[in-house]
Amino acid sequence: MVKLDGKLVASEVKSRVKAEVSELTKKYGRPPGLSVVLVGDDPASKVYVKNKEKAADFVGIKGMVHRLPETASQEEVAAIVDQLNGDDTVDAILVQLPLPKHLNEEELLDRILPSKDADGLHPVSVGAAFSNRWAPLPCTPHGVIEMLKYYDVGLEGKRAVVVGRSQIVGKPMAMLLLNENATVTICHSRTKDLKQELLRAEVIVAAAGKPELITKDMVTPGTVVVDVGIHRKGDGKLCGDVAAEVGEVASMLSPVPGGVGPMTIAMLLQNTLDLFRNSNIN
């Protein structure tokens, strides 16, 4: 079984981005700017944001975090987004999810200018990507495709099954697989027989958010399996949506941690670079 090493592929992507950032910083007289809006004290979000800051710094992107208290109002968060929209040194804006429950997530994401949409979640970006025009792509599914390409997994004509249909992972994942000419099935919580669907797959992308949902008996030998899920178990260790025993039958499997997670951050840097390039061309 080949391990789909997200750390390795992410470091390749970061080296590529770093070289291009250095070149364009000289050309345009300033580095790309990525602003992250973090509301509240969610411990996981704090770790993710710190990792994004570190990664931005590593490749020469000017990362800035705008921290607001858990009690921040819709108007206060919106005011920060508006300010960043108007700041010419900010090329990419990301509102860290999840937001505290009292905030309207959709309204805040829609407020980000599509030309600064770091996460590719704005409806304009989603629509453009669906109609095969350029758009920043949602970082996690984009990272999965990048990883599969690195390992030469030919997707053309393959039966790919995506488990999950969220706006952030499942739906864009299915679209990107379709763009690679895979034959795509999307499964979700109402799917009648998940095992039957999975047994037909040649490529599985698991993004159900259910710890160790996919077990060995649900996977045909030789299948390529990408595990997007991240969960902390009772003993403090991390696991994915795919049980470790799947490694006994899969031809390739992404580990948790060290699989899709690092790719998500690498693709955020790639999006920031692309938006920076676009803003200087336009």
For ligand NDP, the closer CB: 216 or 277:
216
Binding stretches for ligand NDP (CB under 6 A): 140, 163-166, 168-170, 187-191, 194, 207-210, 213, 228-230, 260-261, 264
Q: How far is the CB of 154 from ligand NDP (least distance, A)?
A: 24
How many angstroms separate the Cα of 41 from the Cα of each of 63, 75, 102, 105, 236?
A: 19, 19, 14, 16, 20
For ligand NDP, the closer CB: 21 or 161:
161
For ligand NDP, the closer CB: 90 or 241:
241
User: Closest Cα to residue 175, out of 120, 100, 111, 235?
Assistant: 120
Give 220's Cβ-side CA count (13 Å radius): 13
Residue with tokens 């919106």: 78
Within its chain, how far is the Cα of 170 from the centroid? 11
Tell me whether strands 183-187 and 92-95 are parallel, antiparallel or unpaired: unpaired
Q: How far is the CB of 276 from ligand NDP (least distance, A)?
A: 22
d(CA 250, CA 246): 6
Q: How far is the CB of 279 from ligand NDP (least distance, A)?
A: 26
Catalytically active residues, by annotation: 52, 96, 119
Encoding tokens for residue 242?
A: 């795919």
For ligand NDP, the closer CB: 33 or 229:
229
Q: Provide the 3-class DSSP secondary structure of residue 239.
A: strand
Q: How far is the CB of 12 from ligand NDP (least distance, A)?
A: 17
